[in-house]
Amino acid sequence: MKFSVLSLCYLTFLVSINVNAQEIAILKYNGGGDWYANPTALPNLIRFCNSHIDTRLDEKPATVEVGSSRIFQYPFLHMTGHGNVIFSDTEAANLRDYLFSGGFLHIDDNYGMAPYLKQALKKVFPNTELEEVGSDHPIFNKKYGFPKGLPKVHEHDGLRPQALGIFHDGRLVLLFTVESDLGDGWEDPSVHKDPEEIRIKALQMGANIIAYVFEN
């Protein structure tokens, strides 16, 4: 029964990629962290991608819960926040099945999320550790070149930005961006008042992530 349900969900996932309006979603999680942070970020990234890399993404991203079977409808999930993250056993299994069935999760640390997220991911991947994604990975050169890896949007602790990932069968299925704050760079200019050059770099990196998901 489990196999047939997953197969049906995966078929739905594949069909969703080929419809006229492709959809991506924000991942809602438990634990108290503000999963709803950066409300203008993903809509702005969608508009940038539709204008610059010829995607046809629905301009309004959906919101989906970790434990819902609806996550299989979306090839790309985005997760962000500042605080605690908790996955139940059921949620962890659902997310793992989604990622191993062809889905992709981008997690952007909005500052303070990292220690909680890393603990939560141990439930999802009990035998796999996050590893640094090198600047030679295709995600850094899909549409725009980032020979040094992630751009730096906000300083926070003054540490270098890191792209951490989980791979399955050679495919990057989860990308965790830390000390970069891409989502802040995607937001409306009036929110953080970042220089336009920084915002464009953040949007270009986001476009690379989207391109990687839809082309792999």
Mean predicted confidence (pLDDT) in 14-27? 69
pLDDT band for position 3 (cuts 50, 70, 90): very low
Residue 94 near residue 28, CB atoms below 8 Å: no
Provide the whole-model pTM: 0.89
Tens of pLDDT, residues 138-160: 999 999 999 999 999 987 787 89
**Sign, CA torsion 56/62/65/69:** negative
* Average pLDDT taken over every residue of the chain: 91
CA distance linking residue 49 with residue 107, whole number of Å: 18
| Tokens found for residue 201 | 């770099």
CA distance linking residue 25 with residue 1, whole number of Å: 27
Residue 172 near residue 139, CB atoms below 8 Å: yes
Residue 102 near residue 174, CB atoms below 8 Å: no
What is the CB neighbour count within 10 angstroms for residue 98? 25
pLDDT band for position 7 (cuts 50, 70, 90): very low
CA distance linking residue 161 with residue 174, whole number of Å: 16
Residues comprising the chain, all counted? 216
